[in-house]
Amino acid sequence: MKKIVNDPESVVEDMLDGLISAHPDSLQKLPDTTVITRKDAPITNKVSLVSGGGSGHEPAHAGYIGNGMLDAAVCGEMFTSPTPDQVLEAIKAVDGGAGVFLVIKNYTGDVMNFDMAAELAEAEGIQVEKVVVNDDVAVEDSSFTTGRRGIAGTIFVHKIAGAKAAAGASLEEVRSSAEKAVANVRSMGMALTPCTVPAAGRPSFTLDENEMEIGTGIHGEPGIERKPVAAADAIAEELINKILEDIEFNQGDEAAVMINGMGATPEMELYILNKKVNQLLKERGISTYKTFVGNYMTSLEMAGCSVTLLKLDKELKSLLDAESSAPAFRV
């Protein structure tokens, strides 16, 4: 295993300390936790957003803390859900009196632990609402989930809900906009190589040199098919076709597109993929409103990508365009 780490057991703590060192004016770490918050939290009378999950998906989720997106991120151990008490500490730290909204990826541990934290917070008088993101069209159930997984489309939900909260919306209004985003976002990914969790010291799965996996999750979960490596255009077509089988787009509809790298994919390859994705959308009469290309939700050093489409209406376009000061998503 070749990685730039110290002790494999302390990578999350070391990473978070380095993150704070990079953004000391805007981010802070709660003592004795793996919770990162805005430095100006809590903000009085603003709905606060909390998300999180296992580490190893950087810049998700702490990279999305800032005005117009998250107020806090709870960072679990590698590919492991944060505990309920850590999530509760995040909720309490950012509650400004208008309630706290949780954005949860649909993984069994995340859903269970965030739900438990919400119940504990409500027992302390904090109003909490939530949304569960399940944008992955590849598989209905997996080794980590009941129902569809939450993957890179979660970033669009952070943006939509965060912008709504920043505009002064109520907790119910934030939930309504977030639910609209979840209903209109779809993603699908693929992998060329596995990743290695530092503490494990070996790849999470194996692929032959000439193989790729279609439909993998962000933890290296199995996809729907293992097949010979194909050209970028063929990969783009397979991912887009699967997405468009699952959500209805009409002629003239607009979409936000995210071409997400899994950690080790050069931007060159992501842009090559994006060329075909935009061509395919144009052929179907779908207008690309905005395109995001880069590493948004990774899987350590996995080589591969995911494609996300967010079907837009007037409200979602406005919220997507709203200001964000988050380090990994500046608008």
- CATH classification of the domain holding 218: 3.30.1180.20
52/159 same-domain check: yes
* Segment among 19-33, 88-102, 178-192, 209-223 with least mean pLDDT: 209-223
Q: Tell whether 297 is covered by a domain.
A: yes
Nearest CA-CA partner of 259 in 195, 317, 190, 199:
190
3-state SS, residue 67: coil
3-state SS, residue 121: helix
Q: Tell whether 2 is covered by a domain.
A: no
Confidence grade of residue 318 (pLDDT, cut at 50, 70, 90): very high
Tokens of 119: 């119940």
User: Tens digits of per-residue pLDDT, 102-136?
Assistant: 999 999 999 999 999 999 999 999 999 999 999 99
Question: Rounded to an integer, what distance in angstroms lies between the CA atom of residue 321 and that of residue 314?
Answer: 11
Question: Rounded to an integer, what distance in angstroms lies between the CA atom of residue 42 and that of residue 39?
Answer: 8
15/163 same-domain check: yes
Q: Any idea which residues carry the catalytic annotation?
A: 57, 219
The total of structural domains in the chain comes to 2
Q: What is the pLDDT of residue 204?
A: 79
Q: What is the pLDDT of residue 205?
A: 84
48/142 same-domain check: yes
Question: Rounded to an integer, what distance in angstroms lies between the CA atom of residue 143 and that of residue 131?
Answer: 21
Tokens of 136: 């992955």
Whether 180 has a pLDDT exceeding 80, the answer reads: yes
Give yes or no for a contact between 212 and 226, defined as CB atoms under 8 angstroms apart: yes
Q: What is the pLDDT of residue 289?
A: 98
41/129 same-domain check: yes
Whether 68 has a pLDDT exceeding 90, the answer reads: yes
109/210 same-domain check: no
Question: Rounded to an integer, what distance in angstroms lies between the CA atom of residue 181 and that of residue 224?
Answer: 25
Whether 315 has a pLDDT exceeding 90, the answer reads: yes
Whether 144 has a pLDDT exceeding 80, the answer reads: no
Q: Tell whether 106 is covered by a domain.
A: yes
Parent domain of 112 = 8-183+322-330
Percent of the chain with pLDDT over 70: 99
209/311 same-domain check: yes
Q: Tell whether 3 is covered by a domain.
A: no
User: Tens digits of per-residue pLDDT, 204-235?
Assistant: 788 999 999 999 999 978 789 999 999 999 99
Q: Tell whether 147 is covered by a domain.
A: yes
133/249 same-domain check: no
Question: Rounded to an integer, what distance in angstroms lies between the CA atom of residue 296 and that of residue 302?
Answer: 13
Question: Rounded to an integer, what distance in angstroms lies between the CA atom of residue 58 and that of residue 86?
Answer: 19
161/229 same-domain check: no
Give yes or no for a contact between 177 and 164, defined as CB atoms under 8 angstroms apart: yes
18/161 same-domain check: yes
Q: What is the pTM of this model?
A: 0.97
149/43 same-domain check: yes
36/145 same-domain check: yes
User: Tens digits of per-residue pLDDT, 249-260?
Assistant: 999 999 999 999
Signed CA dihedral, 210, 216, 218, 220: sign only: negative
Q: What is the pLDDT of residue 142?
A: 66
Q: Tell whether 210 is covered by a domain.
A: yes
Question: Rounded to an integer, what distance in angstroms lies between the CA atom of residue 185 and that of residue 162?
Answer: 16
Q: Tell whether 295 is covered by a domain.
A: yes
Q: Tell whether 298 is covered by a domain.
A: yes
The residue to which tokens 């295993």 are assigned: 1
26/136 same-domain check: yes
Task: Provide the 10 A C-beta neighbour count for residue 282.
Answer: 11
